[in-house]
Amino acid sequence: MNTFDHVLPIVKDVLKEHRLQLEKVGEVIINRDLNGRIRLVLSNTSADTDQTKSAMTTLAQALSSRLGLHCFPPEDMVLFETSLEAVLQDAPHFQLEDLPGVTVVDRLATDTDWSIISPISTLGSRIVFFSIKGGVGRSTALAAAAWSLAQTGKKVMVLDLDLESPGLSSSLLPDELRPSYGITDWLVEDLLDNTSPVFESMVAISNLSHDGEIFVVPAHGKNPGEYVAKLGRVWMSKVKEDGSYDRWSSRLNRLLDQLQARWQPDVMLIDCRAGIDEVASACITDLGAKSILLFALDSEQTWEGYRILFQHWRRTGVVLSIRERLQLVGAMIPEIEGADYRDALGEHSWNLFTEEIYDEIPAGETTGDRFSYDQHDESAPHFPWTIKWHRGFAAVRSVHSRFQQIDPDEVNTIFGPLVHGLQTISESEEPA
């Protein structure tokens, strides 16, 4: 009996077995609907000749006999559209491996994608802090990184995109400095083209910065207001005047572009949600990040989670456009036997990257131009930038007060490799 994961491999097999028929029908979209059922979408010019009609019938029957419940019956299987381009718009899609001209359009119940990677933003460096599991010290590390970069004279903008569990801004701002609005307010007002009252009042300058500046863009304003009601609307696509959709992630991108133009930060640090959810997806894939930091504890759950994500990127063919932007961060390296822990973390990370992300190097050959790294290469994406677990940060009541008392040596001891790595990234040229 087939289940969801059998569907695409079967479609691939059937289409490969019927290559001749496939060539006759031309470009094909495999539409996988919300229930996981398959249909073929073809250009309406495809139905023109008897030859193509018979090829379509053969394909539909072959798919139906192999997929059963997971596709439409042969007589309803094929849909015709004037523009295949339009079908691809506003829905996640990817090429089916080894089958040029065959694209899968995946209709998801959420606005999640993870499979179309936006090019790196040209407006300034954006760095996303992501973790597959929560509570690993991601937001604290981001605040420490902002503090350190500002110490070196940089203008840093920090965005709290962990909208469902906000908190980053309180580490950088005392209550009285909080702005009136936050990202949630902007996204809701954007639905009504009413962002101007919000835009100038959603950024605060942290009092922790000395030489540089830290601009903080919180999830919500000083008074969160009807936060739950607003949160329920931020993920909405906006219907544009011409009837097309502006996905929420592209709305968010617009906000980032405007913030960058207005405040001209040297670097933008983005705290995104933990786990494989839609906000995280947008932060990783859609915001044109220059670098994506993957926070990890050395646990089976962590590696399993990252494997699911990496395999999805491989399956959907985007791994090549994202892999050079990835960087593993080893979170909360324990005080006791830290070196052993770090070695094990480095090894597990390397195993994962080698199996899922790096190019294979055939025996006897050298790396050459291939994207592959030695396990101990410190410049490699898998080589963890480490953050030490430190009692001074464990269960602190106010991270803001903690940062008011901190000195550069202490930050360096705990967060040194992260800060150094970020400095290098934010100063480096954009990859070609």
402 to 421, contacts with ligand ATP by CB under 6 A?
414
Residues near 71 by beta carbon (within 8 Å), at least 6 away in sequence: 7, 37, 38, 39, 63, 64, 77
Smallest separation, CB 136 to ligand ATP (Å): 4
Q: Alpha helix locations (H) across 201-244?
A: 227-234
| Contact between 138 and ligand ATP per CB under 6 A | yes
> With binding defined as CB under 6 A, does residue 134 bind ligand ATP?
yes
Stretch that binds ligand ATP, among 115-123, 131-139, 260-268, 303-311 (CB under 6 A): 131-139
Kindly state the smallest distance separating residue 331's Cβ from ligand ATP, in Å: 7
Query: Shortest approach of ligand ATP to residue 412 CB, angstroms?
Result: 13
Q: How many of the chain's residues bind Mg ion (CB under 5 A)?
A: 1
C-alpha distance from residue 29 to each of 12, 61, 257, 312, 365 (Å): 13, 17, 33, 19, 39
Find the shortest distance in angstroms from Cβ 187 to Mg ion: 19
- Structural contact between residues 346 and 339, judged by C-beta atoms closer than 8 angstroms: no
Toward Mg ion, which CB reaches closer, 80 or 389?
Answer: 389
- Segment near ligand ATP (CB under 6 A); pick from 54-62, 117-125, 132-140, 349-357: 132-140
Token pair 């596709």: residue: 71
* Distance from C-alpha of 29 to C-alpha of 13, rounded to nearest angstrom: 16
Q: Per CB under 5 A, which region of 31-39, 132-140, 147-155, 349-357 contacts Mg ion?
A: 132-140
Q: Which stretch binds ligand ATP (CB under 6 A): 7-15, 49-57, 229-237, 392-400?
A: 392-400
Decide which of Mg ion, ligand ATP, none touches 414; Cβ closer than 5 to 8 Å per partner kind. ligand ATP
Name which position in 139, 206, 281, 386 contacts Mg ion (CB under 5 A). Answer: 139
393 lies in the site for ligand ATP, by CB under 6 A: yes
When computed from its CA atoms, the radius of gyration of the chain, rounded to whole angstroms, is: 24
Question: Which stretch, 57-65, 101-109, 138-146, 262-270, contacts Mg ion (CB under 5 A)?
Answer: 138-146
11 binds, options Mg ion, ligand ATP, none, Cβ within 5 to 8 A by partner type: none
Q: Dihedral sign for Cα 396, 425, 121, 311, please.
A: negative
By CB under 6 A, tell whether 25 contacts ligand ATP.
no
Q: How far is the CB of 138 from Mg ion (least distance, A)?
A: 5
Total number of residues that touch ligand ATP (CB under 6 A): 20
Query: Rounded to whole angstroms, how far apart are CA atoms 238 and 241?
Result: 10
Q: Of 124 and 330, which has the nearer Cβ to ligand ATP? A: 330
From the CB of residue 16, how many other CB atoms can be counted at a distance below 10 Å?
12
Q: DSSP per residue over 366-385, as a string?
A: --TTSS---TT-TTSTTSPE
Q: Is 201 helix (H, G, I), strand (E, B) or coil?
A: coil
Give the Å distances, CA to CA, from 245 to 55, 111, 240, 287, 324: 34, 12, 6, 17, 30
Cα–Cα distance, 366 to 373 (Å, whole number): 11
Q: How far is the CB of 409 from ligand ATP (least distance, A)?
A: 15
Which partner, ligand ATP, Mg ion, none, binds residue 394 by CB below 5 to 8 Å per kind? Answer: ligand ATP
Residue 22 to residues 52, 67, 188, Cα–Cα distance (Å):
9, 18, 45
SS3 130: strand
What span, in angstroms and rounded, lies between the C-alpha atoms of 178 and 203?
Answer: 8
Interacting residue with ligand ATP among 165, 264, 367, 404 (CB under 6 A): 165
- Judged by CB, which is closer to Mg ion: 46, or 139? 139
For ligand ATP, which is the closer residue by CB, 142 or 318? 142
- What is the H or E stretch that residue 426 is in? helix 408-427
The angle subtended at Cα 13 by Cα 10 and Cα 17, nearest 5°, is: 140
140 binds, among Mg ion, ligand ATP, none (CB under 5 to 8 A by kind): ligand ATP
**How does strand 204-205 pair with strand 155-160?**
unpaired
Selected from 387, 406, 411, 419, the binder of ligand ATP by CB under 6 A is 387
Residue in 139, 249, 253, 281 binding ligand ATP, rule: CB under 6 A: 139
List residues near ligand ATP by CB under 6 A.
131, 134-140, 162, 165, 274, 332, 387, 389-390, 393-396, 414
